[in-house]
Structure 1
């Protein structure tokens, strides 16, 4: 390398550029960022066709045994991007929000059908005197309904793969809903019609308020799930104690605590649908989510019915 009179530097042996050893691109000082790709990406210009699985250097040097591996594709003739490059956009925020909204609509649609079936059973057992008489004379049918309810409930609760398999998850949920509706109807038949109607009205008001508040508030109820579970165990043992020490006041306290606990559970299970809290459900768990909400509402109704029945004496 020598310098001439003009002050420019002249290369004695200038480098030779060819298709194998192309010149570096001129980008006005902007750094070239190469996005790495998986080793199995076929058709990617950053990878050779020989299946070596290692990316090429942006500026390869000439090598006799790597001549074919470092061929540069012509502009406009490269293969379309592989599928893995599009998968990174599937989990974007907009897509997640759309999936979550579809999940919420699906859960509340299933829940509406369940509550409609249960209200139909309650209406029949409340307003039809012949059905009331049959239930009072055949109380064993309640325990049969309880067994029919318990089998699909345990299966849905314990078998995660089963409750995500269509259509068996919906079949199990339908059997469970029919059995629970029958049991609620049997219990309602032992109360007066006006008490049942008042319990239904209060339950609708309480559940609607709790669900709307849980969907709108920023407070995270799911973080209190452990505390609620401990409170539920305490109320459960308190209910067992009330069986042996029967007292009207104790029974009212037990029913009030039970309604309060399951109202809090309804708020927690509602926020499990949102996906932006400490705990959340997968969009594939629409059957499990509908079952939780349904059981919470049924328990609230039964405890409120018990409160009104005991208060009237």
Structure 2
């Protein structure tokens, strides 16, 4: 099973279960019904542009870190073998990532106060990058490169679509959570069936679900005419959501490409 770990459940991918802000202050309604921080009007164009710019700069740093570690740990065959067999490092990274994710999700101070928020985010990114590298060690460099290129093209296209479309995906939060739960249950079923066809269908559905999440999180970040948006003080949380979406899309595609040749 893939365990699109996080966003979905834990498994080979070992990405933590996706968490949505349980607090009211990080989500604002476009009509002013949200409980965003006083003195910050998210509809102000200058604030919004600065917020989006900051989120994408943070996301770029996270992705560069992940790609760098991925290349470092998968290009050399000896390092690749050591990483793939290092269960202690795998468990430490997985547990540490879950703990940090819980802190960032539940502790508003840890998310909003610098440099604490950047320290936590950096540690989470390193842990996630290592787990991504562990999974990628099962595949050839050519397959990994193809998955990176496909992920980059799709994420860029989805981002442009999310910013240009008039359809409001921020209203679909409940539906996306339902899709995620169905995906998780489908993943458990695929473990016991041991069918390559079901496994391929699982990763295809995973890529589709997280593509919707990427559009959803992008619109939550840009705000504007969308019904709901993330508070401009939650740039760490916004970057974390987008990062996990991109990583999960990549993990699904690398499994899809790697499984196509047996």
| TM-score (structure 2 length as normaliser) | 0.82
Output one character per residue of 1:115-135: Cα deviation in whole Å (capped at 9) or x when no partner.
000000111122112211212
Q: Give the secondary-structure state (helix, strand or coil) at the position aligned to 1:219.
A: coil
Where in structure 2 are there 5+ consecutive unaligned residues?
Answer: 1-37
- Whole-Å Cα distance in 2 between the matches of residues 103 and 302 of structure 1? 28
Residue among 167, 175, 196 paired with 1:227: 175
Judging changes above 3 Å, is the alpha-carbon distance between structure 1 residues 176 and 93 closer, same or farther for their aligned structure 2 residues? closer
Q: Which residue of 2 aligns with 1:309?
A: 258
Residue 151 of structure 2 is matched in structure 1 by 203
Q: How does 1:231-242 map to 2 (within 5 A)?
A: 231-242=179-190
CA-based RMSD? 1.7
- Give the conservation status (yes or no) of the 8 Å contact 2:69–2:129: yes
The aligned residue for residue 286 of structure 1 is: 235
- Please tell me whether residue 136 in structure 1 is matched to residue 84 in structure 2: yes
Query: 1:161 maps to which residue?
Result: 109
Match of 1:81 in 2: none
The residue aligned with 2:198 is 250
Q: Is the 8 A contact 1:125 1:188 kept in 2?
A: no
Paired residues of 2:207 and 2:249 also in contact (CA < 8 A):
yes
Q: How many residues align?
A: 224
- Runs (4+) of structure 1 exceeding 4 A deviation are 90-95
TM-score by length of 1: 0.69
- Which is richer in helix? 2
Structure showing greater radius of gyration is 1
Q: How far off its partner does 1:92 sit?
A: 10
Match in the other structure for 1:213: 161
1:162 positional shift: 2.2
Which whole-Å CA distance do the structure 1 matches of 2:63 and 2:51 have between them? 18
The 3 A distance-change label for structure 1 pair 169 and 188 is same
